[in-house]
């Protein structure tokens, strides 16, 4: 997979996590453990995206 393809996939997963976090947060009784897990995964993806962007020459 190309670097652009990998970045696109990670960005899509990041956007999906944002939607899942928003959906969980707007439930009448959000599950804090689920929210924590989703937010940590989102942060991990963001860090990987940034790391890959730094590896791109130019």
Q: What are the pLDDT tens digits along the chain (58 aa)? A: 788 899 999 999 999 999 999 999 999 999 999 999 999 999 999 999 999 999 776 5
Number of domains in the chain: 1
Query: Would you state the pLDDT for residue 58?
Result: 58
Which residues form the domain of 12? 3-52
> Does some domain include residue 40?
yes
* b/e burial code for range 14-47 (CB count within 10 A of at least 16 → b): beebeeebeebeeeeeeeeeeeeebeeebeebee
Phi, psi of 33 (to 5 degrees): -65, -40
The reply to whether 42 falls in a domain is yes
Q: Give this prediction's pTM.
A: 0.86
Query: Does 39 reside within a domain?
Result: yes
Which residues neighbour 47 within 8 Å (Cβ) at sequence distance 6 or greater?
none
């Amino acid at each position: 997979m190309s670097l652009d393809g990998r970045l696109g996939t990670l960005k899509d997963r990041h956007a999906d996590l944002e939607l899942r976090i928003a959906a969980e947060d707007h439930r009448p009784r959000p599950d804090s453990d689920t929210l924590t897990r989703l937010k940590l995964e989102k942060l991990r993806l963001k860090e990987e995206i940034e790391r890959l962007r730094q590896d791109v020459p130019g």
